[in-house]
Amino acid sequence: MINDEYFLAALRLAAGNDPMPGHVSAAARDAYGLRVPQAVTAAPAECAAPHGVRGIDGCQLVRFVAAGLTFDLEVTVGDGLIDVAGQIVPHPGEGTHVDVRTPHLTLTRRLARTGQFAATGLPPGWLSVVCHRPGHAPVQTRWVRIRP
């Protein structure tokens, strides 16, 4: 037997009469603000060490692939902060830069001729890297969560 109060509450929710909680709207706005318009999202791929496995020195190796580019990221956590040493191959060309992003901080780095870059002192949590190439759509990695 259905309780009338639960049934009416379900009808109100289905009809859209109950307001969206403020924290849900705020979280949706924050997530929308993290997008990179027209970006291609690189998917995780196999790398030399198994994906997501921490080595003896506490580093984590992750690889992403899309649009002919491979992102190799070595993430190390120390003293509660994240350091990222990365390489994009093949080199995406002159004038290319990467944004190493967290939800609250973005560090922009120019690529070396070898396609390497580094960012240090990032807060633990969510991380994404975006490659900006002149004349091409940006390529971004998925967001990955790095925990100490």
34 is written with which tokens?
A: 């993290």
Report residue 58's pLDDT band, with 50, 70 and 90 as the boundaries: low
Encode pLDDT of 14-56 as tens digits.
777 666 777 877 777 777 777 888 899 999 998 765 444 445 4
Query: Which residues does 1 contact at the CB level (< 8 Å), separation at least 6?
Result: none
What number of helices (H) and strands (E) belong to the chain? Answer: 2, 10
Report residue 5's pLDDT band, with 50, 70 and 90 as the boundaries: confident
Residue ranges, comma separated, of all CATH 2.60.40.10 domains in the chain are 40-146
Output the pLDDT for position 51: 42
- Over 80: is that where the pLDDT of 66 sits? yes
Whole-structure pTM value: 0.77
CB 102 within 8 A of CB 129: no
In this structure, CATH architecture of domain 40-146: Sandwich (2.60)
